[in-house]
């Protein structure tokens, strides 16, 4: 990590706040093999108990990537009965589709695929590009969160099991991407730059999000095991026929292009720095290997150009329109109305202080 994260700080030993935070989070959420197995067994028993008499005891998102795929393998090994949910936003690579089909068939896991209305979703993606913030993956990420919540509610399932994990996903700077759960932010961006009504786009307003979070329990299953990405890839390739991608999140054409072309060229953000830093902190990569890898482009230049032509055409933009988007002044999440801006504002701090003043101290506090 470096100062392309504008909020980074370094201590007297030259260690950045992200790595210090990793140590804190790892101490809280990562366990020894024995303790992890014990805690996972407790979670599995709770999930199975809550799911008795139902076709499924948990909902699991699947993208075709290594983290979500390995999570489903672990869930099945633990005796869970997951329903896999996949969001089709129109950008799946052919390999991603084949990986999902191949793995779920092998594991005998049912799949629900939620297909987004392309014209609505295209309009929202273009709106985010025109908004000029480093957040253009939010339309997909928010929809994924929403369809996970809604499918859990639809099937009467209390538990959602995810592929998020501390070891490989702990270093993402807030300045590089914010607002994934913030429907006010998303709707404000679309109001300013969109042209179509979002009649069917899956979304979760703030207060509904709070209710669903209280009603459902989300479990990050990979944190209970000694998750090593390379070893997991080898297991998936050997045992369930999974085929490796060229980079993290490259199962999506748009994600590959956004992370490998738009973010570095327009904003100076190379997400490989965050991804590699997580692997370094979890002893899955050396810093020297990471620095050598960063000397290479995020992915081959010829493929970047092919993706550029494909993305522009699919989004119905002209080359000059896309060039204007790339040249537009850079903005931030904080530049638009959002729930996050309210929480960071003076009004919220005053209300919070007033509320806390009404609370009676508990005995012994």
Q: Which two tokens stand for residue 230?
A: 């390379």
Cα torsion angle, 150, 152, 153, 155, sign = positive
Average pLDDT over residues 326-349: 80
Mean pLDDT value of segment 145-166: 96
Give tens-digit pLDDT for 252-290.
Answer: 899 999 999 999 999 999 999 999 999 999 999 999 999
Q: What is the pTM of this model?
A: 0.90
Please provide the average confidence, as pLDDT, over all residues in the chain.
92
Query: For position 245, what pLDDT does the model report?
Result: 76
DSSP notation for 77-113: HTT--EEEEEEE-S-B-HHHHHHHHHHHHHHT-EEEE
Contact status, residue 189 vs residue 333, Cβ threshold 8 Å: no
Q: Is the pLDDT of residue 247 over 70?
A: no
CA distance from start to end of the chain: 40
Q: What pLDDT score was predicted for residue 277? A: 96
CA gap 126, 148 in Å, rounded: 24
More confident residue, 356 or 204: 204
Distance CA 270, CA 263 (A): 7
17-340: what fold?
A: Rossmann fold (3.40.50)
């Amino acid at each position: 990590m470096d100062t392309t994260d504008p909020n980074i700080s370094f201590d007297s030993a030259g260690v950045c706040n992200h790595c210090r935070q990793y140590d804190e989070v790892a101490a809280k959420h990562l366990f020894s093999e024995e303790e992890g197995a014990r805690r996972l067994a407790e979670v599995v028993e709770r999930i199975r108990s809550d799911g008795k008499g139902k076709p499924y005891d948990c909902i699991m998102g699947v993208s075709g990537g290594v983290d979500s795929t390995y999570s489903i393998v672990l869930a099945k090994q633990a005796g869970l009965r997951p329903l896999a949910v996949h969001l089709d936003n129109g950008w799946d690579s052919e390999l991603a589709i084949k990986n999902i089909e191949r793995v779920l068939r092998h594991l005998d896991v049912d799949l629900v695929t939620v297909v987004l209305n392309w014209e609505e979703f295209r309009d929202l993606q273009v709106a985010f590009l025109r908004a000029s913030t480093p957040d253009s993956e939010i339309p997909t990420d928010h929809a994924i969160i929403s369809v996970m919540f809604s499918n859990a509610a639809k099937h009467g399932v209390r538990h959602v099991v995810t592929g998020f994990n501390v070891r490989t996903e702990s270093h993402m700077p807030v300045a590089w991407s914010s607002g994934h759960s913030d429907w006010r932010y998303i709707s404000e961006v679309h109001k300013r730059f969109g042209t179509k009504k979002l009649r069917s786009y899956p979304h979760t307003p703030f207060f509904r999000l709070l209710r669903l979070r209280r009603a459902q329990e989300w479990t990050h299953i990979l944190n209970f095991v000694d998750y090593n990405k390379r070893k997991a890839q080898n297991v998936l390739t050997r045992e369930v026929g999974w085929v490796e991608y060229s980079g993290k999140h490259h199962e999506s054409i748009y994600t590959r292009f956004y992370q490998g072309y738009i973010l570095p060229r327009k904003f100076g953000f190379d997400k490989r720095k965050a991804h590699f830093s997580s692997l370094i902190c979890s002893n899955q990569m050396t810093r020297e290997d990471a620095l050598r890898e960063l000397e290479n482009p995020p992915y081959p230049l010829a493929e970047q150009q092919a993706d550029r032509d494909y993305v522009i055409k699919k989004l119905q933009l002209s080359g000059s329109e896309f060039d204007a988007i790339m040249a537009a002044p850079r903005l931030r999440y904080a530049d638009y109305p959002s729930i996050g801006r309210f929480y960071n504002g003076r009004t919220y701090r005053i209300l919070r202080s007033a509320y806390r003043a009404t609370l009676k101290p508990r005995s012994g506090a």
